[in-house]
Amino acid sequence: MTSTASVLAALDSVRDPELDQPVTSLGFVASCTVSEDGVADVHLRLPTYFCAPNFAFLMVADAYEAVSGVPGVRRAEIVLDDHFASEAINGGVAARAGFVESFGTLAESELDSLRRDFIRKAVLAGTDRVCRPLLSSGLTGDDLAALTLGEAPPSPDRERLRARRAELGLPSTDDSPLMVDPVTGEAVGVQAVPLHLRKARLTAVGAEANSGICRGMLRDRYATSGLGEETA
């Protein structure tokens, strides 16, 4: 029989696209059960009733894909609770309809472009997380411009940055530059390094602030912790 733990492990791969963090650690997984005949039933919850419906749709659709791929799961039922667009999102994902079909005239196209925009932000924020400690240890911007990804010290942040770059098709091997333009993938030149790092830090600070507010709102909305929630 498929375990709840294996479904939760699959949900660890599902991220909030805006915050670039797993829905599990954010506390968005309200419940998760697997029946004896292989039906996985997952309820997701968000910090507010009015959280942006496009990102909510992506999370529910990604959860559907991830849970459906768990060995032994015969059917995945993903339900977003307590959201103004719950009905459209839950129905659309269950019917394997895309975003446009689910939202009709309210949407013009699918969400791929939106998702890519936010992975680019994740690349910038991740660049800050990898580079900031190097700057603190005494390296200069010029030093960083000459480094490759493989020359940065191994860390979870480095691997997360590598993964996001790979998702966008940006250079992500050890011999690729440590800092690349998140749109073109070209190495950031020495002249452009200070501004690039400023933008990277600003993007990371923005993501931290958003995540702090979202976590606070979720805690006020629900008395219980989510499955796999990590307090930060």
Partner 1 sequence: MYEKDGEKYFVVDSHMHYWDASPANWIAGQENFAKGWIDCFHAYQSLGPAETHWSIEHFQKYSEDDLMKDVFEDGHVDVAIFQPTYLKSWYTEGFNTTEKNGALAERHPGKFIVNSRFEPRGGDAAMKEFEENVARWQPKGVKLYTAEWLGDSRGWTLKDPEAYRFLERAQELGIKNIHVHKGPTIWPLDKDAFDVSDVDHAATDFPDLNFIVEHVGLPRIEDFCFMATQEPNVYAGLSVVIGGLMHARPRFFAKVMGELLFWVGEDKMTFGSDYGIWEPKWQIEGFVDWDFPAGDEFTDYPRLGTAGKKKILGLNAARLYDIEVPAEYQLPAEAGTPAAKDDAKLVEDPVGAPA
Q: Which residues would be at the binding site for partner 1 (CB under 8 A)? A: 18, 47-54, 84, 99-100, 103, 105-111, 113-114, 117, 121, 124, 132, 135-136, 141, 194-195, 197-199, 201-203, 205-206, 208-210, 212-213, 216-217, 219-221
* Between 40 and 92, CB nearer to partner 1: 92
In angstroms, what is the minimal distance from the CB of 130 to partner 1? 14
Structural contact between residues 63 and 11, judged by C-beta atoms closer than 8 angstroms: yes
Residue 142 burial class via C-beta count within 10 angstroms: exposed 0-12, middle 13-18, buried 19 and up: exposed
Structural contact between residues 70 and 39, judged by C-beta atoms closer than 8 angstroms: no
In angstroms, what is the minimal distance from the CB of 127 to partner 1? 12
Structural contact between residues 227 and 27, judged by C-beta atoms closer than 8 angstroms: no
Structural contact between residues 224 and 29, judged by C-beta atoms closer than 8 angstroms: no
Which residues are 22's β-sheet partners?
A: 15
* Between 2 and 157, CB nearer to partner 1: 157
In angstroms, what is the minimal distance from the CB of 126 to partner 1? 14
* Between 64 and 99, CB nearer to partner 1: 99
Structural contact between residues 77 and 94, judged by C-beta atoms closer than 8 angstroms: yes
* Between 163 and 195, CB nearer to partner 1: 195
